[in-house]
Amino acid sequence: MFLVHGEEIAADAPVLRTGGVPLVPAGFTWPLCRECGEAMQFLAHLPLDFGTVAVFMCQDDPGMCDCWDAVSGANRACLFTGPLSAAVVPAEGETLLGAVTALRPHSDDEPAEESVLGKLGGEPEWWQNDETPVCPSCTTPMTFTAQLEEGHDHTTAINFGGGGRGYVFHCQACEEAAFVWQR
């Protein structure tokens, strides 16, 4: 199912969106980049039928950390279940996108290309080789969850290297998620 550009919404809206603040369980700690140690940027809130996936990636010094890599520790995807509430955003760092954008499901015909911000389920459309990650807990290949485009407004877009694409995966049994991007 395609996800198309929706309206600008509240930062803590409990809907499919890029930007805004993550909704997290009690005791959540904002992820820090394993390579540079700085707070990551929150990219996407994806409430789905098996749980909620939150995607983060290091943007402290774009291009310096391996933020495209599923195992570098320079990005983080979390799968949450149970009650969630808005996270406390760290006071410093590149932590938030420039806009909060609803990702509106579009199931019928093929939407106009410029409106597409991603898709849910189906098969990943890789730019490069298949980089399906294995679950860090059970080591089986993870299930493809969603694909994210950068967005067309450069002042608010996600940075996937300029025209890249993000891929979200999960393992429901282990409550794990992973993220990789390519261009």
Give contact residues for Zn ion (rule: CB under 5 A): 33, 35-36, 58, 60, 65, 74, 135, 137-138, 171, 174
Cβ closest to Zn ion, residue 85 vs residue 143 = 143
Cβ closest to Zn ion, residue 58 vs residue 103 = 58
Sign of torsion, CA 93 99 100 106? negative
From the number of C-beta atoms within 10 Å of its C-beta (0-12, 13-18, 19+), residue 144 rates as middle
Task: Enumerate the β-bridge partners of residue 171.
Answer: 176
Phi, psi (deg, nearest 5) at residue 32:
-105, 145
Cβ closest to Zn ion, residue 61 vs residue 125 = 61
Residue 75 CB, shortest distance to Zn ion, in Å, is 9
Residue 166 CB, shortest distance to Zn ion, in Å, is 16
Sign of torsion, CA 21 4 79 95? negative
Cβ closest to Zn ion, residue 22 vs residue 133 = 133
Residue 157 CB, shortest distance to Zn ion, in Å, is 19
Residue 170 CB, shortest distance to Zn ion, in Å, is 9
CB proximity list for 179: less than 8 A, separation 6 or greater: 55, 57, 70, 75, 76, 77, 166, 167, 168, 169
